[in-house]
């Protein structure tokens, strides 16, 4: 959306209706589960407007929970009806903007591993088995310290880095120090091969210096959704 999206507030509803942009099968391309076959549930709307974000999460529709679950199951199986994707990734936009507790609970009951991708500014009570990957964002006024309830539940932190955007030149301390949370650095995609190469070089430098993991957006390299 490149920052052109409306900033949408959290929705305090019961989770029986969900604003959905799309549901699709792919590989998880980023973070600790990169390369794992997955069904992505992209929720509509975000509470931030990041200028580098190239994801379209507007133009969503409101669907009943049952319809969302049925579509996830349909995308998880092959032509014989055998489930070949057991990871469900709930992303956005910002998924914590909506009440996703019922969705995550039923997906776990259905035998899915559930991963949430969040910017860390919002939090919902979720089942303990849900894996939360937090990618903090700099809104232009600096990073905000991460919420304690987010840090307590975060399975991994993923920081974007850029050699050209001073807001993303380093990995900031946002309260994660001493918690043992795995940290990944990911080159920002600036849609320019030369700039992206410099961003990758910076990510490699930071990862090697600090002992962080490296996340390289496999889905873009493979040209898959």
Helix, strand or coil for residue 174? coil
**Residue 78 confidence (pLDDT):** 97
Give me the catalytic one of 22, 26, 52, 55: 55
What is residue 119's predicted lDDT score, i.e. its pLDDT?
A: 95
Out of 94, 112, 154, 219, which one is annotated catalytic? 219
Closest CA to 119 of 136, 96, 132, 97: 136
pTM score of the predicted model: 0.95
Name the catalytic one among 117, 118, 154, 159.
Answer: 117
Report pLDDT for 12: 87
Average pLDDT rounded to a whole number, residues 59-78: 98
Choosing from 19, 30, 53, 94, the catalytic residue is 53
**Among the options 54, 109, 170, 201, which is catalytic?**
54
190 falls in which pLDDT band (50, 70, 90)?
A: very high
pLDDT of the residue at 88: 98
Annotated catalytic residue: which of 19, 30, 46, 60? 46
Calculate the alpha carbon distances from 187 to 71, 100, 122, 135, 164 in Å: 32, 29, 24, 13, 11
User: Can 57 be counted among the known catalytic residues?
Assistant: no
Answer whether residue 140 shows pLDDT above 90: no
Q: What is the mean predicted confidence (pLDDT) over 18-34?
A: 97
Residue 82 among the catalytic residues? no
Active site residue 91: no
Task: Report whether pLDDT(2) > 90.
Answer: no
- Strands in 80-188 per DSSP E: 87-91, 113-118, 131-134, 154-161, 183-187
Q: Is 219 a catalytic residue?
A: yes
Report whether 123 contacts 138 (CB < 8 A): no
| pLDDT score of 126 | 97
At residue 145, the pLDDT reads: 82
pLDDT 10s digits, 86-102? 999 999 999 999 999 99
Q: Residue 218 in contact with residue 35, Cβ under 8 Å?
A: yes
pLDDT band at 49 (very low <50, low <70, confident <90, very high): very high
Q: Which one from 19, 30, 40, 154 is the annotated catalytic residue?
A: 40
- Mean pLDDT of the region 179-190: 97
Residue 187 has a pLDDT of 98
Average pLDDT for residues 56-62, to the nearest whole number?
96
Q: Is the pLDDT of residue 178 over 90?
A: yes
> Is 149 a known active-site residue?
no
Mean pLDDT of the chain: 96
Active site residue 50: yes
pLDDT for the residue 201: 98
Residue spans of beta strands (DSSP E) within the chain: 17-27, 37-43, 61-64, 87-91, 113-118, 131-134, 154-161, 183-187, 213-214
Least confident among 36-40, 49-53, 126-130, 149-153: 49-53
CATH topology of domain 17-222: TIM Barrel (3.20.20)
Q: What is the pLDDT of residues 196-212, one digit of tens each?
A: 999 999 999 999 999 99
Q: Looking at 50, 60, 104, 159, which residue is catalytic?
A: 50
Domain borders along the chain are 17-222
């Amino acid at each position: 959306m490149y920052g052109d999206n409306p900033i949408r507030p959290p929705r305090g509803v019961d989770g029986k209706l969900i604003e959905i942009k799309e549901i699709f099968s792919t590989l998880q391309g980023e973070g600790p589960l990169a390369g794992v076959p997955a069904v992505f549930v992209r929720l509509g709307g975000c509470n931030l407007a990041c200028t580098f974000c190239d994801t379209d999460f507007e133009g969503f529709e409101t669907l009943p929970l049952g319809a969302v679950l049925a579509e996830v199951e349909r995308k998880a199986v092959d032509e014989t009806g055998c489930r070949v994707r057991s990871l469900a990734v709930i992303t956005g936009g910002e998924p914590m903007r909506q009440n996703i507790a019922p969705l995550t609970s039923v997906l776990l009951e259905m035998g899915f591993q559930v991963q949430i991708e969040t910017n860390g500014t919002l939090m919902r009570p979720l089942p303990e088995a849900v894996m939360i990957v937090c990618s903090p964002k700099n809104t232009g006024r600096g990073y905000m310290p991460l919420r304690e309830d987010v840090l307590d539940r975060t399975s991994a932190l993923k920081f974007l880095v850029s050699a050209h955007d001073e807001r993303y030149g380093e990995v900031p301390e946002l309260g994660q120090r001493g918690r043992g949370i795995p940290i990944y650095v990911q080159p920002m995609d600036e849609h320019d091969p030369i700039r992206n190469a410099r961003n990758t070089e910076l990510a490699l430098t930071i990862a090697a210096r600090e002992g962080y993991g490296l996340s390289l957006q496999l889905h873009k390299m493979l040209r898959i959704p």
